[in-house]
Structure 1
């Protein structure tokens, strides 16, 4: 077989996003030299089944979206949920307020164990309309899970929005709250797929809405209150994810959550965040969590560029090692090494690929849309979103982070199976998954300052491909 014939034997479509300006651009011409690395796909060896990829519906995102023209609003919704866009398949929202709300509120402000005044009226102006528009734009549909940051203050030992614990006398009331939330959203035509039990049960430094649980307390609540209540109310099919904070703490949580059959019964999986480090993926912790409960979900439920005001219309910043996170200033001295400066695109690509290569089956970004300040946020906890808008001038900026997310969400679909990959270039990161339609999506991330060449092998067939310096590629194989 001639070299030319060999090169053409594997049919691929290649899409690239790069520091040099590509944005999910289809690439057909490749610069190939004689020295090439190899990436070999082994689809017979499979790992986890993908749940999905996406972002979060927050009151802040919905509010700024509502301030735009219909044209730009539709552009963003279709950009995230349309088949031609990122085609998000897994999303999150908050129950009661969070820091990315305009103010602090609860669906049950009155002290009443039966929650007779329960109402989601706070969500009616912005949040629910955004979710409904996303549903209308999505051909394939998507899953939504909801997370509380805190119970209303009257249910807590410190009677405060921030910190404190849920009083045991209100465990049944708080379980009822989840059931009533499902009812209320169902009335709005929105089906909630599941929950995380509590956003960041270790707290957030007592800054904004929070409520503390130990692993034992959360498991007691799920095992004896939340799980049985949802089951009794006909919601036994709803997903319950435990933990919902940084990865380094995984072992102590999964040891308690999955201690035995009784403790595990109502947990469908474990939720994690990425804020422990700007570069470390914590593969050992992820592997441990998977091995502790191989049949449970393991979903990254929140990550974002935090402690930064977004850079407007400046693609290069997102590829440059300039961003700092909360830990740059606030981490303990012995943990500061985990929080160096980083390039935002690199952090996203590295983390998602690292997660997929360590049993994580879903990856959810934080806010979908924020303004130029990185808000609104009642606590002024400014963050970056993949789409930034200027409501005053009705302008929209799809940052490189949007395209980074789309490299995964658009091409790796729910029910795909992560497959084995052999990669000979340790400076390049690779992951791959086989979709339900039989196509294979391979995501390659080249963080280096030089272009790379590699031969992609599937069985006896191969294709020589080059990737630009500082670039992400999704390679789709359909044959």
Structure 2
């Protein structure tokens, strides 16, 4: 009898030990990788047997900003190109960005009136002196932009937010009477505020809800190249406090977000100081929008942190970034991993700022910037054009750029560049309402961020810019999983709740 009892005790101990051993690894982990070696958001199930050399530890108990979303921009250029593709390829691109099987974009942007990535210059209020905007019309958008947005809405299961941005008021409202440069005449401040409200109504009538506005795209100007209109921080804040905010409030649209600034991060301090100067201005500004063009590698983390600390409860959204001043490279994935790209600053930046614009690798630029923004309190990140052609347009100013998806409408061909897969690593897996969580990484070469989704699942982004494979232990709640990441690769690791 004693022998039987002893055997039973041993068996129980072995069962407990076996159970504990099974729990030493994180369960229900999935790993997806895009790499220079050819992975394209590929599911990775076999890992290196080499011993781990570093550790990434997650701490979901410590949380930071709540994510609004990730996505790209609807432009007339992109929409017109989709109109020239076959129905099959058009749907393929829409689904790739918005369907559950694709990137699941959740935060988007579009332009009010024309921009450089329009087919021509136009305004919804073309009639001079029409201060009550009786002739306001979005007819120009009905051929291209609106159909693209509607098709995206049909493809998206969870829906997405739309931020609308004006590049300029119609010339007749400006002190220089031109599309480019100049300022809004004070006598048209009320008319321009009404313009925003009319726009929201017109889009709603088409079945499209606008989530919010930026007050002005690039209020510091763009060297008088294409549509622009200038504001100082005080001028923009005064316009919002005395005109735009009250107009939307009066029209029952106070739920529409108003984002200030909307240009490069290096001037962020002075703008948020003015935007949040008092309780009235804080009431009307819902957040700040920024771009990435000040540098090809610098995140300007101090400025982003300053903006968040100035208004912790407000949005901080990156509303535009792209590989600019560059003609796309067609169907050559490896180019996007090479240190070959240049931007406007490579040639045109002032001597004291040229160091901010070295040659760079496009995939690296996207991965580093989005991770850097996440880790510095940015809650949304929006790419520029979703689709461009092989020239990097159409663009009336010939300001060629690269989009994640390049098409040849004459041949009815579509090319998903590595930038598309890079964007998908964030937008597909980090969902609106996710919270960034704390982590520790012992490998300084790996760039990491992490979040917990509303459903309780965890997402870890790991970028390995080095030319060697990395093996690390991913640890959560004292249990771990050993994972390897390819050289020059980005991974998304999901951990089910």
Given the two structures, how large is their TM-score scaled by the length of structure 2?
Answer: 0.95
Cα deviation digits, residues 183-225 of structure 1 (max 9, x gap): 1001100000010000000000000000000000000000010
> Alpha-carbon deviation of 1:10?
3.5
Aligned match of 1:460? 478
Counterparts of 1:161 and 1:83 in 2: how far apart (Å)? Answer: 40
Tell me if the contact between 2:113 and 2:122 (Cα under 8 Å) persists in the aligned partners. yes
Counterparts of 1:62 and 1:220 in 2: how far apart (Å)? Answer: 35
Which residue of 241, 249, 253 corresponds with 1:235?
253
Which residue of 71, 89, 92 corresponds with 1:54?
71
Tell me if the contact between 1:32 and 1:465 (Cα under 8 Å) persists in the aligned partners. no
Aligned match of 2:330? 312
Moved over 6 A (4+): 1-4
Aligned match of 1:79? 96
Counterparts of 1:35 and 1:398 in 2: how far apart (Å)? Answer: 33
> Alpha-carbon deviation of 1:265?
1.2
Counterparts of 2:458 and 2:478 in 1: how far apart (Å)? Answer: 16
Counterparts of 1:11 and 1:38 in 2: how far apart (Å)? Answer: 19
Tell me if the contact between 2:464 and 2:486 (Cα under 8 Å) persists in the aligned partners. yes
| Other structure's SS at 1:113 match | coil
Which residue of 415, 423, 429 corresponds with 1:405?
423
Tell me the matched-pair count: 479
> Alpha-carbon deviation of 1:178?
0.3
Aligned match of 1:146? 164
Aligned match of 2:44? 27
Aligned match of 2:399? 381
Aligned match of 1:40? 57
Single out whichever of 29-38 and 458-467 deviates more from structure 2. Answer: 29-38
| Other structure's SS at 1:105 match | coil
Q: How does 1:313-462 map to 2 (within 5 A)?
A: 313-462=331-480
Which residue of 118, 121, 129 corresponds with 2:139?
121
Tell me if the contact between 1:7 and 1:464 (Cα under 8 Å) persists in the aligned partners. no
Residue 223 (1) aligns with residue 241 (2):
yes
Tell me if the contact between 1:185 and 1:192 (Cα under 8 Å) persists in the aligned partners. yes
| Other structure's SS at 1:298 match | strand
> Alpha-carbon deviation of 1:460?
1.3
| Other structure's SS at 1:43 match | strand
Counterparts of 1:38 and 1:224 in 2: how far apart (Å)? Answer: 53
Cα 1:193/1:9, change in 2 over 3 Å: closer
Given the two structures, how large is their TM-score scaled by the length of structure 1?
Answer: 0.99
Tell me if the contact between 2:261 and 2:271 (Cα under 8 Å) persists in the aligned partners. yes
Counterparts of 1:423 and 1:10 in 2: how far apart (Å)? Answer: 20
Which residue of 99, 104, 123 corresponds with 1:106?
123
| Other structure's SS at 1:430 match | strand
> Alpha-carbon deviation of 1:7?
6.0
Counterparts of 1:208 and 1:115 in 2: how far apart (Å)? Answer: 24
> Alpha-carbon deviation of 1:262?
1.4
> Alpha-carbon deviation of 1:34?
2.3
Tell me if the contact between 1:12 and 1:477 (Cα under 8 Å) persists in the aligned partners. yes
Q: Which protein is bigger by CA-based radius of gyration?
A: 2
Which residue of 288, 291, 296 corresponds with 1:278?
296
| Other structure's SS at 1:73 match | helix
| Other structure's SS at 1:265 match | helix
| Other structure's SS at 2:324 match | coil
| Other structure's SS at 2:31 match | strand
Aligned match of 2:32? 15
Cα deviation digits, residues 347-379 of structure 1 (max 9, x gap): 000000000000000000000000000000000
Counterparts of 2:400 and 2:170 in 1: how far apart (Å)? Answer: 24
> Alpha-carbon deviation of 1:35?
4.1
> Alpha-carbon deviation of 1:9?
3.7
Counterparts of 1:346 and 1:4 in 2: how far apart (Å)? Answer: 39
Which residue of 317, 338, 352 corresponds with 1:299?
317
Aligned match of 2:214? 196
Counterparts of 2:336 and 2:425 in 1: how far apart (Å)? Answer: 16
Can you give the 5+ residue segments of structure 2 that lack an aligned partner in the other structure? Answer: 1-16
> Alpha-carbon deviation of 1:8?
3.5
Tell me if the contact between 1:32 and 1:464 (Cα under 8 Å) persists in the aligned partners. no
| Other structure's SS at 2:402 match | coil
Tell me if the contact between 2:26 and 2:476 (Cα under 8 Å) persists in the aligned partners. no
Aligned match of 1:475? 493
